[in-house]
C-alpha cells in the first residue's frame, strides 16, 4: 500500500526521480539562501529579482529556442543587471530601494511576456512563467546540482562577514571589512539559485521553495545555523510531498509543491515554538497553576 503510493512513482518513472533530485538540490541551496534573504529583509526584493530574470530568459528563448544554456545565461545576466541597477538607482537618487526594485520588476515582467509571445506559443510562455519540474532533463539537473554545490561552498566562505553585515554593518566597517562586497557576492549567489529554480518552478514561483521554508523555520529556530537546518528538510519535504500529490491527483507539480510549502509555513505560524500564534496565546509560565 504505502509502497504503491510513496515509492512506486519514483521507482517506475525516471522523470519523477529526476524531479526528486532537483527538489533535493534546490532545497539544500535555495532555502539556505532564503534564510539570508529574510534576515536581510529582502524577501520581496528577492521575489522582484526572480521576476526580473524573465526578459533575459525570454531573450535567450528568442535567440536559441527552448535551449537551457541560452535561457539560463540570459536569465542570470538580466537578474544581475536588475540587482545592480536597482541598487545603484537607490544609492544615487532619493528613490528607495524597494520602489526601484518594484519598478524594475514590473518593467521586466511586461517585457519578458512580450518577447516570449513574439515567437513562442502559449505553452512556451506557461513553461517559462510556471516551470516544468517533470520535464527536467539531465542537462538541467547538472545545472541545478552544480548551482547547489557552488552556493553551499560560496555561502560557507562568506558566512561570517555576511551574518555580521546583516546584524551590525557598522561593526564590520569599523573592522575594515567592505560589507558591500559580501552583499554583492550574496546577491550573485541568490540570482544563480533563481536561475536554477526557474527551470523547475518558473520565474513566477522560483522563490517558493527558497522563501517559504525559510520563513517557516524562523518560527522554530533561534540562530542562523539552526534556522537553516530546519528550512532545508522542510523544503525537501515540500518538494517530495508536492511531487507525489501532483502525480496521484494529476495536478500541475510547481503550484502543488509551493502550496505544500505554504502549508508548512501556516502550521509553523500557528504552532511554532517562538513568536507564533500559539506562543502568543498561551499563558505565561508564571501564571499557571
Partner 1 sequence: MTPALRLVDLTVSYDRHPAVHHVSAEIAAGEMTAIVGPNGAGKSSLLKAMLGLAPRIEGKIECAVKRIAYLPQQAEVDRSFPISVLDTVLLGRWSRFGAFGKAAKTDVHDASHAIESVGLGGFERRPIDTLSVGQFQRVLFARLLLQDADLVLLDEPFAAIDAKTVVDLMEVIRRWQAEKRTVVAVLHDIDQVRRDFPNALLLARELVDSGPTSRVLSPENLLRARAMAEAWDEHAGACIPLKQSA
Chain residues in the site for partner 1 (CB under 8 A): 39, 157-158, 160-161, 163-164, 166-171, 173-175, 177, 218, 221-224, 227
Q: Measured from the CB atom, is 23 or 172 closer to partner 1?
A: 172
How far is Cα of residue 251 from the mean position of the Cα atoms in its chain?
Answer: 21
**In the complex, minimum distance from the CB of residue 151 to partner 1, in angstroms, rounded to a whole number:** 18
Q: Measured from the CB atom, is 178 or 248 closer to partner 1?
A: 178
Output the DSSP codes for 97-156. Answer: HHHHHHHHHHHHHHHHHHHHHHH--HHHHHHHHH--GGG--HHHHHHHHHHHHHHHHHHH
User: Rounded CA gap, 142 and 84, in Å?
Assistant: 27
65: left (phi over 0), alpha (psi -120 to 50) or beta: left
Q: Measured from the CB atom, is 38 or 129 closer to partner 1?
A: 38
User: Rounded CA gap, 108 and 81, in Å?
Assistant: 11
**In the complex, minimum distance from the CB of residue 273 to partner 1, in angstroms, rounded to a whole number:** 12
Q: Measured from the CB atom, is 139 or 226 closer to partner 1?
A: 226
**In the complex, minimum distance from the CB of residue 175 to partner 1, in angstroms, rounded to a whole number:** 5
User: Rounded CA gap, 287 and 289, in Å?
Assistant: 7
**In the complex, minimum distance from the CB of residue 162 to partner 1, in angstroms, rounded to a whole number:** 9
**In the complex, minimum distance from the CB of residue 222 to partner 1, in angstroms, rounded to a whole number:** 4
Q: Measured from the CB atom, is 21 or 163 closer to partner 1?
A: 163
Tell the residue number behind the cell numbers 522563490, with chain if given: 207
Amino acid at each position: 500500500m504505502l509502497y504503491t503510493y510513496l515509492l512506486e512513482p519514483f521507482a517506475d518513472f525516471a522523470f519523477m526521480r529526476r524531479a526528486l533530485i532537483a527538489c533535493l538540490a534546490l532545497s539544500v541551496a535555495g532555502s539556505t539562501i532564503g534564510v539570508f534573504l529574510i534576515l536581510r529583509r529582502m524577501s520581496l526584493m528577492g521575489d522582484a529579482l526572480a521576476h526580473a530574470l524573465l526578459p533575459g530568459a525570454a531573450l535567450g528563448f528568442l535567440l536559441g529556442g527552448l535551449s537551457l544554456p541560452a535561457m539560463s545565461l540570459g536569465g542570470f545576466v538580466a537578474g544581475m543587471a536588475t540587482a545592480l541597477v536597482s541598487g545603484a538607482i537607490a544609492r544615487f537618487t532619493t528613490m528607495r530601494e524597494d520602489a526601484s526594485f518594484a519598478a524594475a520588476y514590473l518593467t521586466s515582467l511586461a517585457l519578458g511576456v512580450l518577447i516570449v509571445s513574439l515567437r513562442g506559443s502559449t505553452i512556451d510562455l506557461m513553461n517559462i512563467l510556471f516551470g516544468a519540474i517533470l520535464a527536467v532533463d539531465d542537462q538541467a539537473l547538472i545545472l541545478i546540482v552544480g548551482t547547489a554545490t557552488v552556493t553551499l561552498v560560496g555561502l560557507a566562505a562568506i558566512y561570517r562577514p555576511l551574518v555580521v553585515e546583516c546584524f551590525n554593518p557598522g561593526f564590520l566597517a569599523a573592522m575594515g571589512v567592505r560589507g558591500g562586497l559580501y552583499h554583492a557576492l550574496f546577491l550573485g549567489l541568490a540570482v544563480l539559485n533563481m536561475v536554477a529554480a526557474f527551470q523547475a518552478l518558473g520565474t513566477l514561483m522560483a522563490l517558493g521553495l527558497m522563501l517559504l521554508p525559510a520563513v517557516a523555520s524562523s518560527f522554530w529556530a533561534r540562530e542562523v545555523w539552526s534556522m537553516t537546518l530546519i528550512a532545508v528538510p522542510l523544503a525537501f519535504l515540500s518538494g517530495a510531498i508536492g511531487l507525489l500529490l501532483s502525480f496521484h491527483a494529476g495536478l500541475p507539480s510547481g503550484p502543488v509543491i509551493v502550496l505544500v510549502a505554504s502549508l508548512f509555513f501556516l502550521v509553523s505560524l500557528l504552532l511554532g515554538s517562538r513568536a507564533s500564534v500559539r506562543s502568543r496565546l498561551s499563558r505565561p509560565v508564571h501564571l499557571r497553576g
